[in-house]
Amino acid sequence: MKTGSLDVARLVIARDLRLAFRKPSQLLQPLMFFMIVATLFPLTLTPEMSRLRDAAPGVLWVGALLSSLLALEFLFREDAQDGTLEQFALSGQSLTWMLFAKTCVHWLLTGLPLALSAPVAAVGLGVPAEAMWSVVASVALGGFALSLIGAISAGLTLGARRGGVLLSLLTLPLAVPILVFGADATHRAITGGDIGPPMQLLGAIAVLGVTLAPLAASAAVRIGLE
């Protein structure tokens, strides 16, 4: 019996979620890192709410970017080391599709929790309550695009002895457009502007990412496995 692609995606997602919830500490690390980064800014910049509000989009986005980079290290590395990715590649199923499913799980476990916890950090940065939904939406959408871009660099660094700094060096330049539009959406949300245009551009980047990034990621993983 041939397994359909939706079944494959369901199996990959179920497996990754189950494995992730067996190590809750690893799951919480990016979130805690994000909170600590957000705490450092009032301490170093100013405790004054009006000035923090101006800096809030930058703080939220740099924090979210750094924490998702931290989690990117675990996206493929463990599965590459224990041979799971090799089995994926040999399974006869589309590796692109399976890696896309893995990337979606990565977003579910890091991007989405980061977006949902962004209001906690945002309150501390003087962001008004009515802007919260827009802040959550922009960080969630931007985080999805970041996970897709990140999957490429995570695949590329599989062949390197250590990911770490190299992973950030590869991802950050590619993430510039996401950061620009994401921070702009958050800024508009805080100042009561129209978040439509930057959100649409973020959406366009995410759609482009969905179309091309899994292909590039699977090519990168295949190179790493050779």
Partner 1 sequence: MSWAWFHRFASPPWVYGFAARWTPWFGGAALLAMLWALYAGLVLAPPDYQQKDAFRIVYIHAPSATLSMAVYTTMAIAAAVGLIWRMKVAHAVAAACAPIGAWFTVATLGTGMLWGKPMWGAYWVWDPRLTSELVLLFLYFGYMGLRAGIEDPVKADKASALLAIVGIVNIPIIHYSVTWWNSLHQAPTRLLGKADMVWPMVWPLLLMFLAFFLFFGTVLLIRLRAELLRRERNASWIREVLA
Residue 147 binds partner 1 (CB under 8 A): no
Least spacing, CB of residue 195 vs partner 1, in Å: 15
Least spacing, CB of residue 113 vs partner 1, in Å: 26
Residue 57 binds partner 1 (CB under 8 A): no
Residues in 157-216 at the binding interface with partner 1, rule: CB under 8 A: 157, 159-162, 166, 169-170, 172-174, 176-177, 180-181, 184, 201, 205, 208, 212, 216
Cβ closest to partner 1, residue 20 vs residue 174: 174
Least spacing, CB of residue 17 vs partner 1, in Å: 28
- The one-letter amino acid at 200: Q
Residue 79 binds partner 1 (CB under 8 A): no
Number of residues in the chain? 226
Least spacing, CB of residue 174 vs partner 1, in Å: 5
Residue 148 binds partner 1 (CB under 8 A): no
| Angle between helix 112-124 and 24-44 (nearest 10) | 30
Residue 152 binds partner 1 (CB under 8 A): yes
Least spacing, CB of residue 197 vs partner 1, in Å: 9
**How many CB atoms are closer than 10 A to CB 123?**
12
Residues that bind partner 1 (CB under 8 A): 152-153, 156-157, 159-162, 166, 169-170, 172-174, 176-177, 180-181, 184, 201, 205, 208, 212, 216, 219-220, 223-224, 226
